[in-house]
Amino acid sequence: MNLILLIFDAVLLITLLALAAAAILSSEPRRAVMLFIAFGLWLSLVWARLSAPDVALAEAAIGAGIGGALMLAAARRAARRQATSSEEPS
Amino acid sequence: MNRDLSLLIGILVALLAVLLLGVFHSTLALDPGQRLASLALERLPESGVSNPVTAVLLNYRAYDTLLELAVLLAALLGIWSLGPARPGFQPAGPALAAMVDWVVPLAILTGGYLLWVGGHAPGGAFQAGALLGAAGVILRLAGNAGAGLPSEAWQRWLIVLGAGVFSLIGLLLALTGYGFLSYPPGQAKWLILLIETAATIAIGVTLAAAYVGGRPQMAQPPRSPLAPMADPEAKR
Amino acid sequence: MTAAFLYGGAGILLFALGLWSLLVHEPLLRKLIALNIMGAGVFHVFIAVAHRGDGTPPDPVPHALVLTGIVVAVSATALALALHNRLEQDASDSAQSTSTSTAGLLSGLSISPQSDIIRHE
């Protein structure tokens, strides 16, 4: 019983760290932001497991939701700028 | 950045992480001693709410929350001072528009529910405010450039509502002899609910306005009388 | 005990990952993501410490602190993105004005006080 719980915890945490590493290492802005949103949602799952439902709700709504939407808009602009600057180098 | 340097930084950061892990491990082995948790849970019946997190946020450590609302306000003022809002997105197609018509009222309703339920179950002003903000984000994505927010003058009142009501109640309590933000017994629940309602509206409007990303531009663009300094060159 | 160390340790690793990326990567958006992951690591340590085994209720004080922290982190992110946007707007404006006007004076400056005036002419 305890061992199963430990394995469950380990899987949760390894996925969390892998999502964080993937978000950090991807150089394409939109992909990085989407991985960051996935990371935030996974983090809120982990916090629900740690019996912090209030904080999990807030992280899912504010951290991943609004923060992700803000960054996604910025990533869209960055991607568009990259496209125009590669067309005509100033 | 050059490859060797980033490798060096990686090694240094890894060393720092090992150090922190060691410190954390030895801290866990220590006896935790008297924790705030027992005190917080013990006094919960006096706090006016039965959700311990809401009790900490709005009763025991209400100062924190007041200052946090001030931080939120300052961030939005910073964003507004950087220039006008970006133009919005193109209007949504019929399918998306129909979905938005359903989702936005639903988000606002859920926000109200979370606000009320925050007193005794997971939820509260921040989660509810985030849902209101998300409704604004959805509206802007569907082509409403102002994210469904009212005129600029109204927005200014709404974003100070949270910190304003909070500090006003605190001052009134201080004047009536209870001390700043220490609630009279028996009335804590309604005062907390009043503050939370104001905070929810303020947080929702602030987050939606932050997503718009600049000073609101309504019907008449830049030449508003509020910003006479904006373009002195226009007359030339 | 093991679970507490596992969860807290993951928070520390998140912090280290974010710190490394913040120092190494150049683009502002990546730095911002790194900063947010650093913050998430700190929050995670708080939540792990607040969790006191599966039977006992968790400590509400760190939970409230993290809740405040999340909102502050998002507002800081929003402000940083607005600053970033403004910087790039000014940079592209001054790049345009140097390419159209004859004055090569501004060529070395990415943000110049004159760029606003030139834009309106």
Q: Is A9 in Cβ contact with C6 (below 8 Å)?
A: yes
**Residue ranges covered by each domain of chain A:** 2-87
Q: Is B57 in Cβ contact with C68 (below 8 Å)?
A: yes
Q: Is A66 in Cβ contact with C51 (below 8 Å)?
A: no
Q: Which of B207, B211, B212 to mutate to test the interface with A (most CBs of A within 10 A)?
A: B207
Please determine, for residue A64, whether its predicted confidence score (pLDDT) is greater than 80.
Answer: yes
**Would you place residue C12 in the very low, low, confident or very high pLDDT band (cuts 50, 70, 90)?**
very high
**Would you place residue B83 in the very low, low, confident or very high pLDDT band (cuts 50, 70, 90)?**
confident
pLDDT in tens, B114-126: 888 887 778 788 8
User: What residue in A sits closest to B131 (Cα-Cα)?
Assistant: A61
Q: Is A63 in Cβ contact with C36 (below 8 Å)?
A: yes
Burial class (CB in 10 A: 0-12, 13-18, 19+), B30: exposed
Q: Which of C36, C66, C85, C96 to mutate to test the interface with A (most CBs of A within 10 A)?
A: C36
pLDDT in tens, B162-221: 888 888 888 888 888 777 777 777 777 788 888 889 999 999 999 988 888 888 765 444
Please determine, for residue C88, whether its predicted confidence score (pLDDT) is greater than 50.
Answer: yes
Of C15, C71, C120, the CB nearest to B126: C71
Distance CA B196, CA B10 (A): 44
pLDDT in tens, B90-139: 777 888 888 888 899 999 999 989 888 887 778 788 889 989 998 988 88
Most confident of A31-45, B61-75, C81-95: A31-45
Q: Is C57 in Cβ contact with B17 (below 8 Å)?
A: no
For chain B, the three-class secondary structure string (H helix, E strand, C coil) is CCHHHHHHHHHHHHHHHHHHHHHHHHHHHCCCCCCHHHHHHHCHHHCCCCCHHHHHHHHHCHHHHHHHHHHHHHHHHHHHCCCECCCCCCCCCHHHHHHHHHHHHHHHHHHHHHHHHCCCCCCCHHHHHHHHHHHHHHHHHCCCCCCCCCCHHHHHHHHHHHHHHHHHHHHHHHHCCCCCCCCCCCCHHHHHHHHHHHHHHHHHHHHHHHHHCCECCCCCCCCCCCCCCCCHHHHC
**Residue ranges covered by each domain of chain B:** 47-216
The domain that holds C91 is classified in CATH as 1.10.287
- Average pLDDT (B41-63) is 79
pLDDT, residue A16, reads 92
**Would you place residue C102 in the very low, low, confident or very high pLDDT band (cuts 50, 70, 90)?**
very low
Of A53, A56, A61, the CB nearest to B130: A61
| Structural domain span for residue C82 | 2-120
Rounded to the nearest angstrom, the minimum Cα separation between B94 and chain C is 30
Joined together, the tokens standing for residue C71 give: 């909102």
Of C8, C25, C79, the CB nearest to B24: C8
> Considering only CB atoms, which chain B residues are within 8 Å of A64?
none
Q: Is B213 in Cβ contact with A73 (below 8 Å)?
A: yes
Please determine, for residue C108, whether its predicted confidence score (pLDDT) is greater than 70.
Answer: no
Of A57, A58, A61, the CB nearest to B134: A61
Rounded to the nearest angstrom, the minimum Cα separation between B54 and chain A is 9
